[in-house]
Amino acid sequence: MTDVAIVGASGYTARELIQLLVRHPGARVRMATSRQDEAPRLDTLHPSLTGRIDLACEPFDPDRVASAASVAFLALPHGASMAATPGLRARGVRVIDLSADYRLNDPRVYADWYDHEHTDPAGLEEAVYGLPELYREAIPPAGLIANPGCYTSTAILALAPLVARDVIERSGIIIDAKSGVSGAGRSPKLTTHYPECNESLSAYGVGRHRHTPEIEQVLGDIGRSSGGGEPVEVIFTPHLVPMDRGILATIYAEPKGPASEHDLMDLYRSYYEDSPFVRVVGRLPATKDSAFSNFCDLTVRVVRGRILVIACLDNLIKGAAGVAVQNFNLMTGHPETTALL
Amino acid sequence: MTDVAIVGASGYTARELIQLLVRHPGARVRMATSRQDEAPRLDTLHPSLTGRIDLACEPFDPDRVASAASVAFLALPHGASMAATPGLRARGVRVIDLSADYRLNDPRVYADWYDHEHTDPAGLEEAVYGLPELYREAIPPAGLIANPGCYTSTAILALAPLVARDVIERSGIIIDAKSGVSGAGRSPKLTTHYPECNESLSAYGVGRHRHTPEIEQVLGDIGRSSGGGEPVEVIFTPHLVPMDRGILATIYAEPKGPASEHDLMDLYRSYYEDSPFVRVVGRLPATKDSAFSNFCDLTVRVVRGRILVIACLDNLIKGAAGVAVQNFNLMTGHPETTALL
Amino acid sequence: MTDVAIVGASGYTARELIQLLVRHPGARVRMATSRQDEAPRLDTLHPSLTGRIDLACEPFDPDRVASAASVAFLALPHGASMAATPGLRARGVRVIDLSADYRLNDPRVYADWYDHEHTDPAGLEEAVYGLPELYREAIPPAGLIANPGCYTSTAILALAPLVARDVIERSGIIIDAKSGVSGAGRSPKLTTHYPECNESLSAYGVGRHRHTPEIEQVLGDIGRSSGGGEPVEVIFTPHLVPMDRGILATIYAEPKGPASEHDLMDLYRSYYEDSPFVRVVGRLPATKDSAFSNFCDLTVRVVRGRILVIACLDNLIKGAAGVAVQNFNLMTGHPETTALL
Amino acid sequence: MTDVAIVGASGYTARELIQLLVRHPGARVRMATSRQDEAPRLDTLHPSLTGRIDLACEPFDPDRVASAASVAFLALPHGASMAATPGLRARGVRVIDLSADYRLNDPRVYADWYDHEHTDPAGLEEAVYGLPELYREAIPPAGLIANPGCYTSTAILALAPLVARDVIERSGIIIDAKSGVSGAGRSPKLTTHYPECNESLSAYGVGRHRHTPEIEQVLGDIGRSSGGGEPVEVIFTPHLVPMDRGILATIYAEPKGPASEHDLMDLYRSYYEDSPFVRVVGRLPATKDSAFSNFCDLTVRVVRGRILVIACLDNLIKGAAGVAVQNFNLMTGHPETTALL
């Protein structure tokens, strides 16, 4: 049994994490923290947790976390995570960080996209990128996991086989991605006010969404490890869709040579043979079929010589809390699927 | 051609009003005001108005309003309306107030329910309650119209025939009302944050919603004018429904004597014979059929001796902007349906 | 480990059942049946089950079911259930029937409301009404469980304490209930076609919904067992709400004597003290907080002397598949909450 | 005043058409036809039309149509339109056909994509493609208008300036399009059953949607008329979005030379200078702002050297009924915007 702490318990990701962990036979949520003064109970913050967990938040204190838990899940905004992490690592707490703070290897790239300096370069060095389908070997011993972004996981799982096997051109890859509204977090604002975004669809952050460098970094790594040195360059267009959960990415890539759907499907099936949460499917996947699950569903098509990959997952589960638990399973020696099927 | 001003242009009600008025052959929107410093254009506040009206807001100034317009629509929060109205009336501007400030006759009742004193009792005296189906005679000469609340109009139109003809007991009337989210206004808050209220249904304000005294006052007036002196007492339960627009009220009342659906339907048809916007229908009405329209749809059923009235309307149109234009039509001598069919 | 069969696997209830059972440590889904000719795989019928279960449907054959399973969940339409059940019972298979076929004790009442004769009166005799919060003692040994209707469970859980303690008048109880669209099943029809029911709200089946006699029968039983002999009479009005899941019932009852919210809340808390799935909450419950769970959330208010109970649950889980598993747990000696938290 | 007929009155397009036409000062709906035996009233088919029009359908009979109307709107399925049109044209009735039957110039292309032969090649010869922004000169005298498809209009309006001015490569154009569910018509089926498509997003018809050849044909025409002879080749991917109305297309094209957002926006503004229903906007457009209107909103971005055009419109209005009325206005000498603002 591993005692865990939830640092930053008020958002949707924390709620999903706790919901998964109360079902986990090898984890016990011993502490939750919140910056809110009144030390709210978890079931006050999240009424759905009533009857599932009996715990009140406390302010963040690394000594208290270290005395209560050996693994901490950080569900904090970026910036706050890298302020909290060094103290936890110094006390031996293993950290699974769900923010963006440890995802980008290069602190200058971080500073460019997040508009402030990175304050924990040592943590950056230590961090392992927590996408189990790609880094299953590196995760078990890790002390600090950078849990991937939701769009990022979708795009990488969809493109990794093509890049790894050097099937496609590495520039001009188009990622047209669509997300449910929970991806925007729990702070009310006009763009996510119900009468504004319900019954509406729009693109946002065109050309400047912060998951762009993350996608390019990881795909670049995959490409390098399989021989090719060119960087990967994507055109990433996120859209806001009137639904709670789910990301679907429709990806267009140019093959280096002739491509057949049949061969590509075989490639995907073999690439993900040992990945229980990637379902390579013949049908066109719908977000609903992977909602509330840790699955990523994907398929491949060839249209007029262009390769299309269509992939989807639940942004709060496989895109955040679920993959965090998957990482936790790998780190603590549980079967990868524990509490996730 | 009547020149009109929109005072308080940033909310949903103002947007709907402007949309209706640009189609109106006898009205010209000459001015719009906003408390926002930067004097935003209307199509910046409301992108849907792009290409429909070319006007920038200005700060509220009663002299400027009076020089530009003979009728002002006030789409302000309560409190702000009764601050702005006296200056406009003093300058001869006719006011159609969409807030709650002039709806309750008794300033003490207003103070009880709205938590602050009423500062314009003279306005209260002057104001005519702007529900054309009931007060069609009083509206044309009025200088100050109190445009009714959205729940209020639904409930009153549903119950007026029964109270007027003294068919039902006046206490214990149950109004179980359900509203789309636009009724909560345009200010973002957690309860109307998309991932909170989408795919969810809940009651709110049980026993203390501010439309309660308004419903009771108007129904009481109707009852008195038809002979009975007892006050009307309702149990009003509003619910928030995951849709943009529409209110549906399911109303349960106890008949004083035996009631038949057939007779009751006749009563309703005859009561609303001259009201072009009340559709007495045989089917069970759906909010969608009256959405984006100025119609109120209703039907009557008898179940186990209890009378059920089911009524619906679009909260932003028949419940706010549409009835305001209907009042404007009556005040300016246009056919009641102008710009509303 | 108990081997189970799903008889009638193509609908939403079956999908939810299978999803719950694959997580159940003491159940194994060994067989699924479907009337479809082509013997579809479960993950073809329900893509969300891909990777969770590897099973193809077969035609219904009681011998085959009896050889594969000791418990059968029947997710069939009414009529089909009472055709299949006798053969299963004759072969010693315990049946949890999710249709309406065994819910009404009196075959004449069944015939009145379901428009055809009841063909298995012996089964009616044997059947235990599967609402664990009321019949926890009778369920463990049962051979045939009548799993309650979704509206029914909501209404009964909300009203049982008031009827059992004889707090309210037994006639004129108003149940204004609102349901998400999955309650209408999986067969496409115009009323559940997305562009018809999305962004719309309407009442349906007013005065003639088939859950009415079921509610009255069970509440009548409760009333009788606590002394009072009068029948219970409800006015039940269902509404269709544009969301997938969830039922919320707003219930209005007349107290026999003075009632206080405080005392009533105490009554509810004590009545449901040993029921892990009923959450008596102070807040006004929202369907979203019980969605995808086996919880029923409820609260009590007193408004103008009338008692309001507001209760909600997930129609597919606590209203169907979840309570079926709860019954299964009781029948097979598992803790009541297994696979349900 | 022009008398018009609606041939095929039961679908969503017909409903929208009638709603627009009852507001039109120069049109009178004199007849509506339906294949349904019972000659339903329009307000039975479409309850929202109650109180707006008082007319019952009759069976289609070209003589009757010709005696009642000089213009007929055909809201029929493809195949049915080309069966009805010759008889109407022979009797001098001008036809605005909302089906796909007269959109493709080449009957062989039609046969390939629609799986049956074209039976009215003479009609094909006569038909004018009814996209006023491109063919404003040809529409006024036309006897037969092929009203464009909804995806088609979105894509063509978004791409026409780039093709006309020869700014982009003509192959490899990616059109990632997303549509609300009303685009799928009014016949219930599983894919548009509310609990299937609500809270879900998926691609469909990848590589084989019938609007593909229509887009390529019209853009090819535009390209030819501006000098270049190469055909236009698009990769068109439609998606189903959980909302009633609206199409948003995100289009990716490769410029032939360096491209700046500023110049491109100028190009679009100048190209659509005289088109009152195309709004070239700086913001990223949201479908909601053009919903229930005849506007098409679009903007242009340059991302990593690729041109993105993002365009949206209401599929039932600007994508169907609204543009039909716009064509009607041009054909009958009304201002183009009559009844459409």
Which subunits count as partners of chain A given 3+ CB pairs below 8 Å?
B, C, D
C53 part of contact set with chain A, CB < 8 Å: no
Q: Tell me the shortest Cα–Cα distance from D108 to chain A, in angstroms.
A: 20
Phi, psi of D87 (to 5 degrees): -60, -35
D203 part of contact set with chain A, CB < 8 Å: yes
User: A279 contacts in C (CB within 8 Å)?
Assistant: 50-51
pTM of structure = 0.97
Q: pLDDT tens for residues C329-340?
A: 999 999 999 999
Q: pLDDT tens for residues B1-57?
A: 999 999 999 999 999 999 999 999 999 999 999 988 788 999 999 999 999 999 999
Q: Residue type for A45, please?
A: L
Q: What distance in Å separates the CA atoms of residue A155 and residue A167, rounded to the nearest whole number?
A: 16
**Looking at the domain covering C2-126, what would its CATH class be?**
alpha beta
Residue D326: the pLDDT is 98
DSSP character at residue A326? H
C193 part of contact set with chain D, CB < 8 Å: yes
User: C203 contacts in B (CB within 8 Å)?
Assistant: 248, 250, 284, 310
Q: pLDDT tens for residues D22-40?
A: 999 999 999 999 988 788 9
User: B289 contacts in D (CB within 8 Å)?
Assistant: 47-48, 50
C30 in Cβ contact with C56 (< 8 Å): no
Query: In whole angstroms, how far apart are CA B55 and each of A182, B6, B36, B108, D127?
Result: 36, 11, 15, 40, 41
Q: To which H or E segment does residue D135 belong?
A: helix D132-135
A207 in Cβ contact with D216 (< 8 Å): no
Residue B79 gets the label, from left (phi > 0), alpha (psi -120 to 50) or beta, of left
CATH architecture of C151-315: 2-Layer Sandwich (3.30)
Report the residue from D22, D51, D295 with minimal CB separation from B295: D51
Determine, for residues A195 and B243 on separate chains, whether the beta-carbon distance falls below 8 Å. Answer: no
User: B195 contacts in A (CB within 8 Å)?
Assistant: 12, 180-182, 186, 192, 244
In chain D, where are the structural domains located?
2-126, 151-315
Q: Tell me the shortest Cα–Cα distance from C341 to chain D, in angstroms.
A: 23
Q: What distance in Å separates the CA atoms of residue D194 and residue C12, rounded to the nearest whole number?
A: 13
Question: Does the pLDDT of residue D183 top 80, yes or no?
Answer: yes
How many whole angstroms from its chain centre is CA B150?
A: 4
Angle between helices A107-114 and A211-225 (to 10 degrees): 150
Question: Does the pLDDT of residue A225 top 90, yes or no?
Answer: no
Q: pLDDT tens for residues C310-326?
A: 999 999 999 999 999 99
Determine, for residues B22 and D341 on separate chains, whether the beta-carbon distance falls below 8 Å. Answer: yes
Tokens coding C251: 């219930």
User: D189 contacts in C (CB within 8 Å)?
Assistant: 188
Interface subset of A 120-159, CB within 8 angstroms of B: none
Q: Tell me the shortest Cα–Cα distance from D338 to chain B, in angstroms.
A: 10
DSSP character at residue D317? I
3 state SS of C273 = coil
Residue A32 burial class via C-beta count within 10 angstroms: exposed 0-12, middle 13-18, buried 19 and up: buried
A260 part of contact set with chain D, CB < 8 Å: no
Residue A38: the pLDDT is 84
Q: What distance in Å separates the CA atoms of residue D213 and residue B259, rounded to the nearest whole number?
A: 62
- Dihedral (CA of B77, B83, B84, B86) sign: positive
Determine, for residues B23 and D341 on separate chains, whether the beta-carbon distance falls below 8 Å. Answer: yes
Q: What distance in Å separates the CA atoms of residue D43 and residue D59, rounded to the nearest whole number?
A: 17
Report the residue from C195, C199, C244 with minimal CB separation from D199: C244
Phi, psi of C238 (to 5 degrees): -85, 150
Phi, psi of D167 (to 5 degrees): -85, -25
The ipTM estimated for the assembled molecules is: 0.97
Report the residue from B23, B48, B289 with minimal CB separation from D47: B289
Residue C229: the pLDDT is 76
The angle at the Cα of C221, spanning C216 to C223, to the nearest 5 degrees, equals 90
B197 in Cβ contact with B240 (< 8 Å): yes
C194 in Cβ contact with D181 (< 8 Å): yes
Determine, for residues D48 and B283 on separate chains, whether the beta-carbon distance falls below 8 Å. Answer: no
Which of B15, B193, B287 would best serve as a mutation to test chain A binding (most A beta carbons within 10 A)? B193
Nearest to C320 by CA among C73, C111, C149: C149
Nearest to D336 by CA among D179, D135, D174: D135
Residue D44: CB partners within 8 Å, gap ≥ 6? none
Known catalytic residue at C197: no
**Dihedral angle at the C-alpha atoms of B208, B214, B216, B219, nearest 10 degrees?**
-150
C221 part of contact set with chain D, CB < 8 Å: no
Q: Tell me the shortest Cα–Cα distance from A285 to chain C, in angstroms.
A: 9
Q: What distance in Å separates the CA atoms of residue A97 and residue A101, rounded to the nearest whole number?
A: 8
Check B150, B197, B296, B312 and give the catalytic one.
B150
Q: pLDDT tens for residues B68-116?
A: 999 999 999 999 999 999 999 999 999 999 999 999 999 999 999 999 9
A189 in Cβ contact with B186 (< 8 Å): no
User: C297 contacts in A (CB within 8 Å)?
Assistant: 47, 50
Check C57, C150, C296, C312 and give the catalytic one.
C150
Phi, psi of A22 (to 5 degrees): -65, -20
Query: In whole angstroms, how far apart are CA C208 and each of B64, C114, C271?
Result: 60, 11, 31
Nearest to A293 by CA among A242, A245, A336, A244: A245
Which subunits count as partners of chain C given 3+ CB pairs below 8 Å?
A, B, D
Q: Tell me the shortest Cα–Cα distance from A89 to chain B, in angstroms.
A: 34
Q: Which residues of A are catalytic?
A: 150
Mean pLDDT of C245-266: 97
User: B189 contacts in A (CB within 8 Å)?
Assistant: 188
Report the residue from B246, B301, B303 with minimal CB separation from C201: B246
Determine, for residues C242 and B243 on separate chains, whether the beta-carbon distance falls below 8 Å. Answer: yes
Q: Please provide the average confidence, as pLDDT, over all residues in chain D.
A: 97
Q: What distance in Å separates the CA atoms of residue B185 and residue B197, rounded to the nearest whole number?
A: 14
Interface subset of C 6-25, CB within 8 angstroms of A: 22-23
Q: pLDDT tens for residues B264-280?
A: 999 999 999 999 999 99
Q: Checking DSSP bridges between strand A202-203 and strand A234-240, what pairing results, if any?
A: antiparallel
Chain C residue with minimal CA distance to A46? Answer: C289
Q: pLDDT tens for residues C70-88?
A: 999 999 999 999 999 999 9
Q: To which H or E segment does residue D265 belong?
A: helix D261-271
A284 part of contact set with chain D, CB < 8 Å: yes
Q: pLDDT tens for residues B198-254?
A: 999 999 999 999 999 999 999 999 999 876 778 999 999 999 999 999 999 999 999
Residue B190: CB partners within 8 Å, gap ≥ 6? A186, A188, B196
